[in-house]
Structure 1
Amino acid sequence: MLNGISAVTTGQFHIDNNAECQDYAELDLDRKDYVMAAVADGYSSKKYFRSARGSQFAAESAKDSIYEYMNDYNRFVEAYEADREYLINRIIKMTITKWHLKIKEDLERNPITQEEIEKYLDGDFNKEEIYDIYGTTLLAGVMSKMCNFGFLIGDGSFVVIDKHGKVETPILERNNIENEKTLLSNPNSFNKFSTCFLDEMPFAIMISTEGLAKSFTNDEDFLNYNNAIAKELGNLNTIDDKIEMEEKLGKLFEQRSRESNQDDMSISIIFNRESYEEVARKLEDKAKIQQIDEEINTSKQKIEDFEFKGQQIINERNANRKKIDSINKEKKDLEEYNADLGERKQKLEEQLKQLQEQLDQLCQEEENINNRKIELDSLLMKYEIIEQEKEDEQNKNLEDKKLEEENMRIKEEEKRQLQNNLNN
């Protein structure tokens, strides 16, 4: 059973500046043979002052164009199998045409005023660039039994989760001149569209505007976020479930906008409920593998820390041993010197009567040397204790390292089992 949800959130920047949301999301879930989703992001700058309407017109034009071609589904499938690129290009051209017609109708109902020209265009109005003020991106995706495709112009994210739980972004923005915004209003915009074709119906197509994707620090975190949303799609069994999910996404987007880029955020999701259980199991296995990888990396880091600490202990022991050797050498030198002093003392005692003053001096020197020996014995005992403590610490570190290596071996075996389950 094909289904879908969407959510559009006004960015914190627009809220703070009392401006309207530039994003628009569209779903078509009423058709017998297919579902369609679209999002559009109006370019938020002074020159594009009607881009909120431009994004709405773009998403609606895509929906209407797809319907006109796919309403006779069997005929569409025949044409799709014959030349799908040609057929989708026809839809894109019709979308562009309808978008221009909607703008013309809007201009007839709401002509550009002199006040708008002065306020937004600084008095410099060029009728040939009239469509620029409605400038917007556009992303659209379609799911059906026989035909699955998408197209986009401009930035945004087109995420596909296949029926095996594999997540990919098969369609990206076609870059033009550096720093130039790719919009539906660009001259010859048809040549700036990118398309993709899926050989089989996926579990879900999740398309979102730039604001959501750019609120993450990297692509991996963004795809994991899409995964988390996908895991909840199996719970959407009623209209109330869908409304609750859309409200939940809206609140999450509001928070992300406040805490990150303050941009508008929108998403449209179409999915095949019947393949949810298998996909959910695959996604759960991937999550377990990711968790095991994180645990293995943690173990590796701990082992590296143990090895680093072990080297530190070795270095400290070597330094301590050098101090012990230095003290033993000094002690030996002092013992040899003391022995020499003893001999000299004996000679001087024989001459005590004549050399009493010299003897007293040597006795004082002997007392000083004995005090130093006591001090050195104390230091020697201290460093011998340190040597024993470091030896014990090193043995403990080696035991901890072995335990962590065994833990990593167990985790790697668990990972291999889960990977085998995933592949089978």
Structure 2
Amino acid sequence: MIYAYGITTQGTRHIKTNTPCQDVHKIGKISNDIVIAAVADGLGSEKYSDIASKIAAETSVNYCHSNISKKDSGEAILNVIRSSFEMALNSIKDEATKEENDFYQYGTTLTLAVMVSNDLYYGHAGDSGIIVLKLNGLYNKITEQQRDDYGFVFPFTYNKEKWEFGTVENVASVLLATDGMLETFFPIYLRDEKVNIYVALARYLMDNNSLHIDEVGEGATQDRILTFICNIPDAQVNDDKTIAVLVNTAVKAGVQPPEYYLEVDWAELKRKRNEAWKREAYPHLFTDETNNDQATSDNTKIKNPTTTQEIFVEETDN
């Protein structure tokens, strides 16, 4: 049985500026063991992005729901996902034409997942993303945020050459997130650590050993997670926040060593990163150190949850 829940909340920055929520999620169930989910995030700089994100998510999920069946092969499912992206794009173009608006004001991202038992099929465009919990108990990010060298997103709407499609096997659960939420799983302090994902947060949101979604139900799970997400401090996320989670409760993910799940020592990681930044920014201050100390500095060089933490670097660290 695949259970699902999804949450979209308007960011405090959007509330303060009277900007509509530009995030959307959509979930569609074909059967007990085939479920579809999509998230879309309209570009804040574009006038009709909230409309575009809604069209993208709803059209793509509805198309997959109507065209995927139990008998389909993996390649057939991927072909349906590709077609759903085309359908979503054409629907946005039709909306712009009908309203006589500039199509380039309809920028949005689109990330879609189809979970078939323990297999994941996905399409991805933009800077949202997908995290999976594998059957071996490891959490993996399977998509990369599509941005240019200046940090601007490549939208789904007019960067068709960036669209990505793929398959992941042996999956226990799947989490889709728009960029505001996605980046909380990959804080800058973990970037150079052996485990670079915030495992405690991922486990809380997508591991059925924590969710007990099969026991309490999708509605109760969604309400509890909604409260948690609404209490994330503005210092961490003030953008719209969206996640969609699919959990196969027929399987039990393996367990990694206990240290894999420990809450992170943010104070120590912050100290290490600040020291590494100072060494890179002001190398002349460390010229009297021994070679061994310098080697340690090179190893930490910057390369470009029960409760939430303040886990981002201050502006002075950049």
**What TM-score, normalized by structure 1, do the two folds share?**
0.54
Q: Does the aligned pair in 1 maintain the 2:207–2:247 contact within 8 Å?
A: no
* Cα deviation, residue 131, structure 1: 2.3
Say if 2:206 and 2:245, in contact at 8 Å, map to a contact too: no
Q: How many Å apart are 1:259 and its aligned residue?
A: 3.1
Output the CA distance in 2 between the equivalents of 1:142 and 1:90.
10
Partner of 1:265: 241
Q: Return the alpha-carbon distance in structure 2 between the equivalents of residues 68 and 181 of structure 1.
A: 30
Offset, 1:106 = 6.7
- Indicate the percent of aligned positions where both proteins have the same amino acid: 17
Alignment of 1:19-58 (within 5 A): 19-45=19-45, 48-58=46-56
Q: Which amino acid aligns with 2:78?
A: I
How far off its partner does 1:236 sit? 1.6
Report 1:324-339 matches (<5 A): none
Q: Which fold has the larger relative contact order, with Cα–Cα distance below 8 Å and residues 6 or more apart in sequence? A: 2
Closer, same or farther in 2 for the Cα pair 1:2/1:103, shift >3 Å?
same
Partner residue in 2 for 1:224: 200
Q: Contact between 2:42 and 2:52, CA under 8 Å: does it hold in 1?
A: yes
Deviation at 1:26, TM superposition (A): 0.9
State which structure, 1 or 2, has the greater radius of gyration over its C-alpha atoms.
1
* Per-residue deviation, 1:150: 1.3
| Residue type of the alignment partner of 1:209 | T
1:4 matches 2:10:
no
2:114 and 2:150 mapped to 1: Cα distance? 30
Counterpart residue identity of residue 257, structure 2 = K
Q: Do structure 1's residue 132 and structure 2's residue 109 form an aligned pair?
A: no
- Aligned residue for 1:154? 126
Corresponding residue pairs, total:
258
1:221 offset after TM fit, Å?
Answer: 5.3
* Change over 3 Å in CA distance of 1:64–1:256 after alignment to 2: same
Change (3 A) 1:292 1:225: closer
Which amino acid is the alignment partner of residue 110 of structure 2?
L
Alpha-carbon separation, structure 1, partners of 2:161 and 2:79: 10
Give the alignment of 1:119-268 within 5 angstroms: 130-145=102-117, 147-175=119-147, 178-186=150-158, 189-200=159-170, 202-215=171-184, 217-218=187-188, 220=196, 222-232=198-208, 234-237=211-214, 241-256=217-232, 258-268=234-244
Does the aligned pair in 2 maintain the 1:257–1:263 contact within 8 Å?
Answer: no
More helix, by proportion:
1
Cα distance, 1:149 vs structure 2: 1.3
- 1:293 Cα deviation from its structure 2 partner: 11
Q: How does 1:56-67 map to 2 (within 5 A)?
A: 56-67=54-65
CA distance in 2, matches of 1:147, 1:230: 16
SS at match of 2:124: strand
Secondary structure of the structure 1 residue equivalent to 2:237: coil
More strand by proportion, 1 or 2?
2
Indicate if the aligned counterparts of 2:59 and 2:88 stay in contact, CA closer than 8 A.
yes
Q: 1:56: Cα distance to partner?
A: 1.0
Which segment is superposed worse, 167-176 or 54-63? Answer: 167-176
**How large is the RMSD of aligned CA atoms in angstroms?**
2.9
Contact preservation (8 Å) 1:152, 1:173: no
- Offset of residue 243 of structure 1: 2.0
Closer/same/farther in 2, CA of residues 215 and 144 from structure 1, 3 Å limit: closer
- 1:170-216 Cα distance to aligned partner (Å, 9 max, x none): 22234556544211221xx332112231133x110111000012346
Deviation at residue 147 of structure 1 after TM alignment: 4.7
Secondary structure of 2:4's counterpart equals strand
**Alpha-carbon distance between aligned partners in 2 of 1:24 and 1:291, rounded to the nearest angstrom:** 32
